[in-house]
Chains A and B, each alone.
Chain A
C-alpha cells in the first residue's frame, strides 16, 4: 500500500507540471492581458503609453518561457506570487476561497448522501412501485434542472414568497442552507439513479435469493448488498467531489457565497495568471488526492483489489 501511494504521489508531480504549463500557455495565447483588464476595469479608456508601462511593470512583455520559468521558480520556493489584479497574495486568496468552497461542498455532499442513499434503497427494494416511480421521476427532473434555475426557484419560493430564509444571508448555517440545497439537488438526483442501478444489480445476484431462501434476516442481506455495491458508489461520490470543488461558480454568484469557483472565474476574466495558476495547482492536487483516497477506500473495503493490483503490476 505504501509504495502504491508513493507512486501515485510521484505521478502528481508530473500532472502538476503538465497542467500548469498548458494552462499558462493557453492563458498566454488568449487575447487580452491582465494590464488591459485592470486598467479598463470600469470602461474608462487609457492611453497606449499607460498600458505599455503597466504591462512592463507586471512583467507581461517578457517571453513566454521566461514568464513561466519565473512563476515555476517561485512555486518551487513555495511562493504562489501576488495577484496581478490587486497585488494581494495568491495563497491568501486561495485559502479564503477554499474555506468557503470546502464547507459548501462537504455539507452538500453529506446532504446528497443523506437523501440519495435511503431513497435509492427504497427505489431499488420497491422496484416498480409508486414510490419507485416517484423517486425516479424526481431524480430525472432534478438531474435535468440547471443550477441557476434551481437557485432562482429556491430563492423565489423560500425567500420571496414564504419568507422562510433571507436572500441576503451571512456565512452562517442559515446562509449555507440555500446554496447547499441548490447544489445538492442535481448531485442527489445523479446519486439516486446510479445507486439504484447498482443496488438492483446486486439484488439480482444469486447470493441474495439464496440467503433469503435460507431465512437470513433481511437487514443482514441488505448490509451485504450495500457492502458489495459500495465500490461503484464510491467512484461516483469521488468524481462528484471534484465537480463540487471546481464547478459551483453559479451557486457562489447567486448566493453570494465566497468560494473557489468564483475566484477562478474572476481570475480568468481578468487574465490574472498567478491566481489561475494557483487555482489549477490546487484543484489538480485535490482531484489527484480525492482519487487516491477513493482508491485507498476500495482497498480497505475489498483487500483483494490490492492483491490484484499488485499482481497486475508485477506482470
Chain B
C-alpha cells in the first residue's frame, strides 16, 4: 500500500516537472516573437539584426581596435574612407592639397556635424588625432606631426618627412572623430558623426544603435540596428535559419552551401578581402632550385577549392583588382619541379622521396592552427608528397613568439591583413624590409631595400603601384614567398537586406545611411 502511494506521488512529481519545463519553454516573449523573423521591435520600427564575431568592452573609437566596431556600427566616421574599388574618397573631409615638398597636407572639412548638432571643426579633428596618438600605441607616430587649425574648416598637418600614406592613414577606423568636449562616457556613448547613435551598449555583448536624426550626410533609412555578439559559427547559422538575425559575415563553407540551396530566402555575396594566407621560404636552408620546385608544386587553386570557396587563390599579397596587385607567377608544374630537384642533385628513392647523399628531402612546415592554416599545411604536405618531397608539420600556438621570431623553419605559414587601407606600403614594409622579422628567412637585398625606400617617399599613386608591383614580383621571382590565398569576405543576408558593406573588402565597415531591409 505504502509502495503504491509513493509511486503515485512520484508520478505526480514527474508530471509537474515536465509541465513546468514545457510551460517555461513555450511561454511567449519578445525573443520568441522574433523567432519567426516577421515582427519588428517596437511595431513599425525598421530594424536590422546582425551577428558579429567580435565584441569589445568599450566604444572608445581611439582605443585598441574598438574604432573598427564603432565604424561597423555606423557610429563613427573618418576624414577619408576606402571605397569598394580600394580608392580613397573624402568623407568628413571635402578635399585636400599637398605642398610641393610633400610635407604639408591641408585638409578642408565637409559641412559635417556630430549627432548632438555641433559642427565638426578643424580644432576638434586636430584634438582627436592628438588624443589617438596618446591612447593607442599603434598610432603613437601621430604625435610626431604638427597640426594647425587654419580656420574652422581647414586643418593642416605637417610631417617631418614626406609622408605619402597620409590619406590611407586618415582612413583607418581608429581615426574616427568624436566630440571630445561633449562626450561624457567614451566607453559607452561616444558622440560621433555617423548615421547611427548608440542606444544601448552591453560590454562584450549586444549593441543597439538607432538612427541619428541629425545626420549631416542625408537621410538614414533604418530606425535601429542590433548587433548580437556570436562567436560560434553554428549559432550564427542557426540564428539565421530561425529568422533571429538578418545577416552576418564570415560565413563558413558548410553554411554557405546551406544558404546557397535557398536562393529565394538568402542572398550570398562573396569577394576577395584583404586577409592574406602566405608562406615564407627560408633561403638560408633551401637552395634556389628547391624553393622554385616548392612554388611550382603548391597548387593554390586546389587549396582554394578544398576550402570550399572561403578563400580566393592569390598571385601576390593584394587583390588583383588593385593597381598595386598586378603581378604574375608561374603555373603549377610538377614535372618541372621534379626536374629542378634532379638538377639540384636529388634522386628519387625507392620510397618515392627525393634524397641527396642519402638524406631525404624533408621540409619543416611551421604554422599555427587558425585561419585555415592547418588545412593548408596538410594540403601542402600532400602536394609535396606527390612530387617526392617529405614534409613534417610543426604547429605552434603563437607564431610571433616562436618560429617567426626565431627563423627556425623551412616553410613558415602565416596569415595577416595585407591591405590595411588602400595602400601597399604597410604590407611591403612589414614583410620585405631588412628589419622585418621575416628578414630572417633571407629575402631582403640591397635592390629590394632601395625600392622599398623609394615606395616610402613616392607621392604619385601610379608610381607607388608600379614600385609595389616590382617589389612583390621580386619576392615571387626569387621564390622567397608563396602567396596562397586571400580570405573571401562572405556575407549572407535575408532577401532585401542591402548595404552592410558586403562588397567592401575591409573588415571595418558595416551599416551606413543607405543600409536597407
Contacts and interface: CB of A to CB of B under 8 A. Distances in A.
Contacts of A167: 35, 235, 238-239, 242, 244
B415 A169 contact: no
Interface in B45-86: 49, 56-58, 63-65, 68
Nearest to A174: B29
B401 A166 contact: no
A14 interface: no
B17 to A, nearest CB: 6
Contact of B34 (A158, A168, A172): A168
A222 B63 CA distance: 63
Given A167-B244, A168-B239, A218 B17 contact: no
Nearest to A269: B397
Given A50-B140, A53-B137, A166 B245 contact: no
Contacts of A258: 204-205
Given A43-B275, A44-B417, A46-B138, A177 B25 contact: yes
B369 to A, nearest CB: 13
Contacts of B239: 167-168
A254 B234 contact: yes
Contacts of A254: 232, 234-235
B131 interface: no
Interface stretch (A4-12, A30-38, A194-202, A303-311): A30-38
Interface in A40-67: 40-46, 48, 50, 53-54, 57
Contact of B31 (A36, A45, A168, A222): A168
Interface of A: 30-33, 36, 38-46, 48, 50, 53-54, 57, 85-86, 88, 96, 114-115, 118, 121-122, 152, 155-156, 158-160, 163-170, 172-175, 177, 217-220, 222, 253-256, 258
A115 B56 contact: no
Interface residues of B, number: 65
A41 B64 contact: yes
B32 A165 contact: yes
A123 to B, nearest CB: 12
Interface of B: 2-3, 5-6, 10, 13-14, 17, 24-27, 29-32, 34-36, 49, 56-58, 63-65, 68, 137-138, 140, 203-205, 228-232, 234-235, 238-239, 241-242, 244-245, 275, 371, 396-398, 400-402, 415-417, 420, 426-427, 430-431, 435, 437, 507
Nearest to A258: B205
B26 to A, nearest CB: 6
A114 B17 contact: yes
A7 to B, nearest CB: 40
A161 B125 CA distance: 51
A44 B64 contact: no
A53 B140 contact: yes
Given A86-B58, A155-B238, A159-B35, A36 B204 contact: no
B472 to A, nearest CB: 16
B64 A86 contact: yes
A218 B6 contact: yes
